[in-house]
Amino acid sequence: MTPKYWNKAKKELSVKDPILAKIIKTYKGEVLRSRGDAFETLARSIVGQQISVKAADSVWRKVLTVCRKVTPKKINSLSALALRQCGLSERKVSYLKDLAQHFLKGKIKPSEWDQHSNEEVIAELIAVKGIGRWTAEMFLIFHLLKPDVFPAADLGLHRAISLNYKLKYPLAPKHIKKFSTAYSPWASVAVWYLWRSLDPIPVEY
């Protein structure tokens, strides 16, 4: 799924910011896309924490083999041993179990997220063990396609702003605040293109 606001956001950001306009023009035709369902996306983010992409893919394939489809009910029903045998650490098993419980008990309500602010969704997600603010912000950008998310602690974003705007790295707090305000209400789009300027492969989550 592609955001309906994407073209409008590109035009408005390009008018406001000539540096972003150049990046957007370089990568025209490329857009942010959402994939998977909410539980599976969050589960995969937990699996991939602090390991390489290759290792995460290997573990995830094993989880899929055991589950067939990764759902809260299935994860909850599996023994810790079965999940450990997929290559998951004891801590990550506990995180996945906690995530499943949050969904099963209705503590996480995906059907209501469209009506919630970014901060309300983040608060709901970080109540789960193993999900911090950064992971929640990535989820808002890449899964929920929220248009105005600025992950202020993301080092890749800091690096991209530093390189493109010729600012000293690491960025000063005043610069972070300045850009978070300047990019609103399309911060997610600006951030995606700034990440894109660093990497020939589009960022996915």
The CATH number of the domain holding residue 89 is 1.10.340.30
User: What whole-number percentage of the chain has pLDDT above 70?
Assistant: 98
Q: How confident is the model at residue 2 (pLDDT cuts 50, 70, 90)?
A: confident
* Statement: residue 128 has pLDDT above 90: yes
Residues 47 and 101 in one domain: yes
**Same domain for 152 and 123:** no
The tokens 């408005």 sit on which residue? 12
- On whether residue 204 sits in a domain, the answer given is no
pLDDT tens-digit readout, 148-161: 999 999 999 999 99
Verify that 18 and 88 share a domain, yes or no.
Answer: no
Residue 178 to residue 34: CA distance in whole angstroms: 28
Same domain, 189 and 132: no
Is residue 28 assigned to a domain?
yes
Do 88 and 170 fall within a single domain? no
The pLDDT tens digits of the residues spanning 44-88 come to 999 988 888 789 999 999 999 999 899 999 999 999 999 999 999
Count of domains forming the chain: 2
Residue 160 falls within a domain, yes or no? yes
Domain check: are 124 and 29 in the same one?
no
Would you put residue 123 in left (φ > 0), alpha (ψ -120 to 50) or beta?
A: alpha
pLDDT of residue 205: 64
Residue 106 sits in the same domain as residue 152: no
Alpha helices by DSSP H, listed for the chain, are 6-16, 18-26, 38-47, 53-67, 72-77, 80-84, 90-104, 118-125, 133-142, 155-165, 173-183, 187-196
3-class DSSP assignment, residue 38: helix
- Do residues 131 and 43 both lie within one domain? yes
Give residue 87's domain range. 38-142
Residues 131 and 157 in one domain: no
184 and 110 in a common domain: no
Of the three residues 118, 142, 166, the one that is the final residue of a domain is 142
